[in-house]
Structure 1
Amino acid sequence: MQKTLKLLVTFMFIGATAFAQTRQLTLKDAIIGRYGQYNPERLHQLTWVKNSKDTYSYVEKHKLIGKNIKGKEVEYTSTIQINNALRAAGQDTLKRFPKISWINPDEILFRNDNHFNLYQLNSQHITKTISIKPEGKFADFNAKAQKVAFTVDNNLWVADENGMTAITDDKNLGIVNGQHVHRREFGITKGTFWSPKGDLLAFYRKDETMVRDYPIVDFMTREAELKSVKYPMAGMKSHHVTLGIYDCKTQKTVFLKTGKPLDHYLTNIAWGPAEKYIYIAELNRDQDDMKLNQYDATTGDFVKTLYEETSKTYVEPLHPIVFSKTNPNHFYRWSRKDGYFHVYLYDTSGKILKQITKGPWEVTDILGFDPAEKYMYFVSTKESPIDRNIYKVQISNGKITRLDKADGTHQALLSDDGKYLLDTYQSKNVPRVTNLITNKGKVVSNLLAAANTLKDFKFGTNTIFTIKAADGKTDLYCRMILPADFDSTKKYPVILYVYGGPHAQLVRNTWHNNARFWQYYMAQKGYIAFTVDNRGSENRGAAFENVIHRHLGINETADQMKGIDYLKSLPYVDKNRIGVHGWSFGGFMTLNLMLRHPEVFKVGVAGGPVVDWKMYEVMYGERYMDTPQENPEGYKECNMLNHVSSLKGKLMLIHGAEDQTVVMQQSMKFLRECIKQQKQVDFFVYPTSEHNVHGIDRVHLMRKVSDYFLQNL
């Protein structure tokens, strides 16, 4: 009897293990679970405690935990203690630990609704509250001045513990203050910029009264309502931007005299350390001439141009200059002037002192400097375009030392004293690891080794490899996922997932090679999932990207077809069953592939696609295509309406009705052309979605996409 029981237990264990290793992803697992229960563990809000040198903090189980480099742990506070302080202050309590910023080793800042609270850890009390209007947006807190800049509708305000002050009072809603401009291009993420001491506030003022209202319709009201937005299209009138400087002491504002033409771009705002000057990377509308200009912050007068950069294609400034903390007359500039993003040291006369990093690779992040500024710490693609590794460079001689030990995608936080880094990385088979390392690369301790949340699922082989681009010499990185029960003697259909445009890189050495879980889901259904990063995509240098200039979609499509040629060479690929799916620029690429190569692609799903670049916004569109007036042949060739006659396969377009990035007019024009040419095409609209579909609605979206391939490919 006992022997029988043991055998039964053994068989049950084997059966359970076999079941665990063959779990199948549901669509909800692939879409929602990717960012929920299957997202590998992380140290939440991991950061260095300000001015502590050797102590870092993170949030765990509603508690703020601190540890020093020797591993000594302290519990700073908890959600319960913060809620006690909030009750005492007459504020609503929190359901979870708030996002915090360190002010000093005994004080943190957190936001609760419209209240910014300074919280002392020793006493567990709120020591100061700065409140903004409940409808306030784009809040920007300055720790030194203990003030908050924020906007209400189109105007800018500043609040401190004594109350709120309106900085602007523009009645015309077409004039917008304190918000991001130029449609968030050129690295712009906000519209307010505090000076180092917090005495002055620089802010964008955007005049878009000359831009026509563009109709966006809200269909969910009793009667549909019009929500007009400003959407300047390529070759048409664009908004005018100026930069104001508000003096918190005098309560007066001056505007920089940035001159004409008024439709130029003011980007990469940086303050000088003494608050006397402010620096702007000014770009002409043609985006081929950038000047780094210096202005007097008191008078608004132009002082001088420190540097000018021109290009036959385009210049795209993305990063403000960073001033040296050891020499106020020196600054660091991050530029692609030699063809790759590298760091240069300048003085304030505009003289270049040295190029700090160099080589056929890109600096992707600057982590900081040691206090003496002997070394700069950074992340780059030096080892491989698909990896991100941590380095330090000796500024005096350019000697570079790699600090991490593992291949993969690293990100790091440098301590205030420059002696330690918090290194977090992922790679194909590493869900997430966080190590504390020294500035010489020695691992002091392992802080996290996340478990494999997908260990119970059975996936097919996921590999990264290279093929040659259409130019016959450039390596392109590809990712291919095979079905779990792959049999090389069988034939399998392929779904190509594509983006293909600038500022995106789909194939990377992160967990599961950066694959979308939806690709695993479709591989479960018997499809090969394939992706290639063509020329034009990110982190490969200027020449790799600029090949797309003035004829978007042409070279990108040629490179994607090299991927198709590779697939066709494989004996287990069904050449007659190839499909393609992409969104945004990827939707544009889906149309390119379906219409330029109808003999190859049987099924396509184009989400939020650009159809005609004349209908896309000014900043992005003119950077890569110039204006329709300057490049009529390029716009004609890249206009998908001119290729509808080639359509043969099954094609579905999907669009968000409230899309303000790629307006739904793009899809409507395409549908009308299909009707005129008697071409059958499918169409689906998400009535409340903008440029993408999020939340639980995304499960519906990907069910729609998946079923289209399952039914037609």
Structure 2
Amino acid sequence: MNKKFWQGAFMCLCVSGMLWPHQSIAQNKATYSSLADASAAGRKLKGKSGPKSVNWINGGNQYSFIEGDSINIKDPATLKERNVFISKGITLPGSSTPFAYESFQWSKDAQHLVFKTNFRRKYRRSGVSDYYIYDLANKQLKVAAKNARSAELSPDGTKVGIERDGNMFVYSFATGQEQQLTHDSTSENGIFNGHGDWVYEEELEVSQAWNWSPDNKYMAFWQFDDSKVPDFQMTNFEGQHPNNIHIAIPQVGDPNPKVRVGVIDVNSGKKVWLSPDETGDFYIPRLYWTSDPDILAMVTLNRAQNDMKLYFFNVKTGDHHVVLEEKNTTWVAISNFYTNVNDMLYFPEKTKEFFWVSDRSGFYHIYRYNYDGKLINQVTKGNWDMIKVSGINPDNKTIYYLSAEASPLEQQFYSIKYDGSDKKRLNPVPGFHDIDMSPNTKYYIDKYSNTTTPTQVALCNDKGKTLQLLEVNKGVSDFLATHAYSPLELFHFKAEDGTELDGSMIKPFNFDPTKKYPVVLSIYGGPESHGVFNRFSDATSEQWLAQNGYIVVNVNNRGIANYGSAFMKVVYKQLGKYESYDFAATARYMATQPFVDGKNMAIMGGSYGGYITAYTLLTHPGVFKVGIANSPVTDWRLYDDIYTERYMGTVEDNAEGYKNSSNMTHASGLQDHLLLIHSLSDDNVHPANTMQLLTALTNAGKDADLRIYPPGAHGAGYNPQSRLLINEVSFYYLERYLKGNTDLPNLNAK
């Protein structure tokens, strides 16, 4: 479920050209003259985020970063920098075309770079690219792979593993030759190796579906068979004749891809298939190499995603056994897309121990096991959630992690010993911290902010000492000195049913407490996500609303992460019920404030936020006067099975839950103004969702407004002009129905 396209009240825009803002007489600070103006100023408010494209090298004793057309290396011990690569003047082999790249990898000896170029997107996280190898010693660039879905250096840096057209290959630096390792993928049979299909990539974050063994001998890979997965059809209307696009995407109750795991000996080409003792429908969401290079760890999940098993496989023989099993009455998480947590299992080097992150206590914490599956100890404890493991040092038996211990609104950095002793907070500054730690845990880069402090970036050592401030964003401070800005304010309240909720608001610039202002509740609200943090608000779209007399509000509704499992998992099998109640309760709370116009409030969101916007309007009529739903799911039977069945179970087991969570069920409840926005090319939330809701509304004698953007993807916008137009349409919808403003500009007269 995509939260990324919906930023603040409107979508984040990138349009060229900066319009000089006009002056506010009251405080002599510049305000935005238009949404385009606000968008163009976005980079100035967002500021810089520190070194770009950080790669830790030499075991973590140094890191590289991009600066302009150069790749530089920095040594944290000395703070010295040196340049190692300049793209200017380099051309593609055998041509005069200037060389450009999107990303790169280092070889282990830091003597070669593997560049990824010419990316052509397929799904959200993946696509086809060309890969080039650059030798730093002789300064030569040569082709490693063309039209490949992925390429990765072997741990010793002597080979490059490649996946192309659903088959696996290996390229040797020594010979300059490529060897094909699998041959069973064709465009006709629906079988492919080494990359996730749509649903595995979207909901299990399996994009590159293969990895190297730590001793360079093997490549473990997923094989997918999508031949039984139903087609998800979209239509491109751009040409003379409509072009139908087909993607294999299973919706609720549909057949899933058949998946198995193979291990290839890259020298001999011998292949071993690893078969877990599972029956029925199940997923293989993760593979991990252990500290024993002959042992591969495989994670399986049943289709209901409430029974996780961890297998250890001997890759030479295929022998295996279950090391750990965890069951839950709701769901077992193996990652969290919203907090950028890809793993809940960790296998450090040099030890026969592993760590598993579980919410079995009611909060997510770290548990320590040996390779026999015996629990050694619980590492972290308390009525707070451990969010993310940032580093593990097996030499001094220390784990570094981010948690919500200080507050569910913050993300703070800690260290703790394996046995749970000697816990230390490494960041004294309140707020939201994002950590990039070196593999040897000697150093880390900390990006942090809070409601009153723009993003700061610090290079620190493992004791938490700041070695150097890499970015203080003076440019943002200078911008705020001359431009109108309303800071994020945090608040806490108790809903009518006793639920404690945290929220945030951005008040109008030149706020007058004696006046009453309309409210815009801008939300996402999906399970395991998060809405409100103690961090700097850099969304100029929200500032635009505030400067036009709106109070912009968000809230951490039930279902949100960082408040413990009882708060988060209460939504299980009943999506919509508690989230909509909390949003309506937020509106009722805001209406009690003397500066709020309680009769003029709106709710808006995209993706899951679009779903819950419509659902709240339909099930809590009269609370909000306006709803704007972008790319909404409207019935969970129309969404992909992995996401939906994780939170709703199957239709067979939860027919009443699916019925109650459907917007169509409640279509007759619409009393307020609803704007629906969708793309006909949305491969995440199919436009059938919006079309079926419109049919249900029509059959109930209800009216809604509709905006269709045919070529767009999820989020509807497909270029700067379309995204700006969507924001303008949404803003003027608020102006018309919240403020009663009928003197609106003609958007075609720009």
Query: Within 5 A, what are the aligned runs for 1:299-378?
Result: 299-301=317-319, 303-318=320-335, 319=343, 321-327=345-351, 329-370=352-393, 372-378=395-401
**Residues 336, 16 of structure 1: alpha-carbon distance in 2 compared, 3 angstrom cutoff:** closer
Distance in 2, matches of 1:100 and 1:282, equals 30
**Residues 503, 142 of structure 1: alpha-carbon distance in 2 compared, 3 angstrom cutoff:** farther
Query: Within 5 A, what are the aligned runs for 1:58-457?
Result: 58-69=65-76, 71-79=78-86, 82-84=87-89, 86=91, 92-94=97-99, 99-101=104-106, 103-113=108-118, 116-121=131-136, 123=137, 125-126=139-140, 129=142, 131-133=144-146, 135-144=147-156, 146-160=158-172, 161-165=176-180, 167-171=182-186, 172-181=188-197, 182-301=200-319, 303-318=320-335, 319=343, 321-327=345-351, 329-370=352-393, 372-453=395-476, 454-455=479-480, 456-457=482-483
Whether the 8 Å CA contact 2:194–2:221 is kept in 1: the answer is yes
**Residues 147, 694 of structure 1: alpha-carbon distance in 2 compared, 3 angstrom cutoff:** farther
Mean CA deviation greater in 418-427 or 566-575: 418-427
Per-residue Cα deviation, 1:281-331 (whole angstroms, up to 9, x for no partner): 211112221111122212334x1111111111121222253223232x211
Mean CA deviation greater in 450-459 or 550-559: 450-459
Residue equivalent to 1:8 = none
**Residues 253, 469 of structure 1: alpha-carbon distance in 2 compared, 3 angstrom cutoff:** farther
Uncovered stretches (5+) of structure 2, i.e. residues with no partner: 1-22, 119-128, 336-342, 739-750
Whether the 8 Å CA contact 1:241–1:262 is kept in 2: the answer is no
Residue equivalent to 2:526 = 501
Identify the match of residue 48 of structure 2 among 36, 41, 47.
41
**Residues 468, 62 of structure 1: alpha-carbon distance in 2 compared, 3 angstrom cutoff:** same
Report the 3-state secondary structure (helix = DSSP H, G, I; strand = E; otherwise coil) of the residue aligned with 1:245.
strand
Distance in 2, matches of 1:564 and 1:634, equals 25
Distance in 2, matches of 1:608 and 1:687, equals 12
Q: Does 1:620 align with 2:633?
A: no
Whether the 8 Å CA contact 2:107–2:156 is kept in 1: the answer is no
Per-residue Cα deviation, 1:634-683 (whole angstroms, up to 9, x for no partner): 11111111111111111111111111211111111111112222211111
Query: For residue 180 of structure 2, what is the amino acid of its counterpart?
Result: T
Distance in 2, matches of 1:382 and 1:24, equals 39
Identify the match of residue 468 of structure 1 among 494, 506, 509.
494
- Structure 1-normalised TM-score? 0.90
Residue equivalent to 1:3 = none
Whether the 8 Å CA contact 1:51–1:416 is kept in 2: the answer is no
Query: Within 5 A, what are the aligned runs for 1:530-679?
Result: 530-679=553-702
Query: For residue 481 of structure 1, what is the amino acid of its counterpart?
Result: I
Whether the 8 Å CA contact 2:290–2:349 is kept in 1: the answer is no
Distance in 2, matches of 1:710 and 1:18, equals 23
Whether the 8 Å CA contact 2:51–2:470 is kept in 1: the answer is no
Distance in 1, matches of 2:284 and 2:462, equals 37
Uncovered stretches (5+) of structure 1, i.e. residues with no partner: 1-14
> What's the C-alpha RMSD, in Å, of the aligned pairs?
2.6
Whether the 8 Å CA contact 2:517–2:595 is kept in 1: the answer is yes
Whether the 8 Å CA contact 2:41–2:540 is kept in 1: the answer is no
Distance in 2, matches of 1:649 and 1:671, equals 15
Aligned-residue offset at 1:570 = 0.9
**Residues 535, 91 of structure 1: alpha-carbon distance in 2 compared, 3 angstrom cutoff:** farther
Mean CA deviation greater in 668-677 or 253-262: 253-262
Identify the match of residue 28 of structure 1 among 36, 49, 54.
36
Whether the 8 Å CA contact 2:101–2:116 is kept in 1: the answer is no
Distance in 2, matches of 1:69 and 1:275, equals 31
Aligned-residue offset at 1:273 = 2.6
Distance in 1, matches of 2:55 and 2:169, equals 31
By relative contact order (CA 8 Å, sep 6+), the higher-ranking structure is 2
Aligned-residue offset at 1:460 = 3.1
Percent sequence identity is 28
Distance in 2, matches of 1:149 and 1:306, equals 29
Whether the 8 Å CA contact 2:602–2:625 is kept in 1: the answer is yes
**Residues 438, 554 of structure 1: alpha-carbon distance in 2 compared, 3 angstrom cutoff:** same
Report the 3-state secondary structure (helix = DSSP H, G, I; strand = E; otherwise coil) of the residue aligned with 1:413.
strand
Distance in 2, matches of 1:215 and 1:87, equals 38
Query: For residue 59 of structure 1, what is the amino acid of its counterpart?
Result: I
Aligned-residue offset at 1:332 = 1.9
**Residues 96, 416 of structure 1: alpha-carbon distance in 2 compared, 3 angstrom cutoff:** closer
Whether the 8 Å CA contact 1:659–1:689 is kept in 2: the answer is yes
Distance in 2, matches of 1:306 and 1:510, equals 40
Whether the 8 Å CA contact 2:165–2:185 is kept in 1: the answer is no
Aligned-residue offset at 1:152 = 3.6
Query: For residue 611 of structure 1, what is the amino acid of its counterpart?
Result: T
Per-residue Cα deviation, 1:558-611 (whole angstroms, up to 9, x for no partner): 111221121110122112111111111111111111111221211111111111
Aligned-residue offset at 1:468 = 2.3
Residue equivalent to 2:122 = none
Whether the 8 Å CA contact 1:49–1:105 is kept in 2: the answer is no
Distance in 2, matches of 1:263 and 1:97, equals 38
Report the 3-state secondary structure (helix = DSSP H, G, I; strand = E; otherwise coil) of the residue aligned with 1:282.
strand
Query: For residue 140 of structure 1, what is the amino acid of its counterpart?
Result: E
Report the 3-state secondary structure (helix = DSSP H, G, I; strand = E; otherwise coil) of the residue aligned with 2:693.
helix
- Structure 2-normalised TM-score? 0.86
Report the 3-state secondary structure (helix = DSSP H, G, I; strand = E; otherwise coil) of the residue aligned with 1:42.
coil
Report the 3-state secondary structure (helix = DSSP H, G, I; strand = E; otherwise coil) of the residue aligned with 2:108.
strand
Whether the 8 Å CA contact 1:62–1:97 is kept in 2: the answer is no
Report the 3-state secondary structure (helix = DSSP H, G, I; strand = E; otherwise coil) of the residue aligned with 2:707.
strand
**Residues 470, 556 of structure 1: alpha-carbon distance in 2 compared, 3 angstrom cutoff:** farther
**Residues 252, 591 of structure 1: alpha-carbon distance in 2 compared, 3 angstrom cutoff:** same
Aligned-residue offset at 1:621 = 0.9
